[in-house]
A and B are shown apart, each in its own frame.
Chain A
Amino acid sequence: DAGVTQSPTHLIKTRGQQVTLRCSPKSGHDTVSWYQQALGQGPQFIFQYYEEEERQRGNFPDRFSGHQFPNYSSELNVNALLLGDSALYLCASSLIRQSTDTQYFGPGTRLTVL
């Protein structure tokens, strides 16, 4: 049973560029959430996708956007990168129909903005 997978593992970009991160959920899960974890901080919720729609959003600017595909995989896009976007980006998946849904996390993508 494959867990949550993310690609790429590491990424280096320069300010102003755009980046796309990818996530495949745990087998059987239908919901994907994205979190940003800055160095020395706890993860912060960016947004959540279910049935190919954004369902919830945290306090992040609209430079952060996403997509969910029919196979439940998801992408996180960040435009006009800033130095402050450097962080570990974590994807988590869950099954929304469970009344006690639990989120399982992937290994993350380390984004460095120079």
Chain B
Amino acid sequence: AQSVTQPDIHITVSEGASLELRCNYSYGATPYLFWYVQSPGQGLQLLLKYFSGDTLVQGIKGFEAEFKRSQSSFNLRKPSVHWSDAAEYFCAVGASSSGSARQLTFGSGTQLTVLP
């Protein structure tokens, strides 16, 4: 069975500083990986996804993530954080079976606080 670990429950950064959110996954085959963001009381918005090919993927809002198979990691990065980036971030791995769409397994999330 697949699993996702987000080791950092809460991260605080200053506005303008760089950001890296960690994600480690466990999955027997080539993983399909996702990062979603959730603002308070809201649903999940897709930031970026990795299916195959280039291991550095670009997403919306200036985010990027790098897939490292040897480390089973898919860390999310942003070079300069904005106050509006404060939210909860979820990493997810997608598992599929024949005739079905992907079932997502999520990590427990990382809460990002941005200081002025």
Contact = CB atoms under 8 A, between A and B. Distances in A.
Contacts of B97: 56
Contact of A45 (B42, B46, B103): B103
Contact of B100 (A41, A96, A106): A96
A104 to B, nearest CB: 7
B44 interface: yes
Given A42-B109, A100-B51, A108 B43 contact: yes
Contacts, number: 70
Contacts of B92: 42
B107 A42 contact: yes
A102 B4 CA distance: 18
B106 interface: yes
A43 B107 CA distance: 8
Contacts of A15: none
Interface range on chain B (Cβ under 8 Å from partner): 20 to 34
Interface string A75-113: 000000000000000101011100011111111101000
A50 B100 contact: yes
Chain B CB within 10 A, most for which of A48, A96, A103, A105: A103
Nearest to A51: B99
Nearest to A6: B43
Contacts of B4: 42
| Shortest 7 CB-CB contacts between residues of A and residues of B | A42-B106, A105-B44, A107-B43, A105-B43, A31-B101, A55-B100, A100-B51
Given A40-B108, A42-B90, 15 more contacts: A33-B104, A41-B109, A42-B107, A42-B109, A43-B90, A43-B104, A48-B100, A50-B100, A92-B44, A100-B32, A100-B49, A101-B102, A102-B34, A103-B102, A107-B42
22 contacts: A33-B101, A41-B109, A42-B4, A42-B92, A42-B107, A43-B106, A55-B101, A56-B97, A56-B100, A92-B104, A94-B101, A95-B101, A100-B32, A100-B49, A100-B51, A101-B102, A102-B46, A103-B94, A105-B43, A105-B46, A108-B42, A108-B43
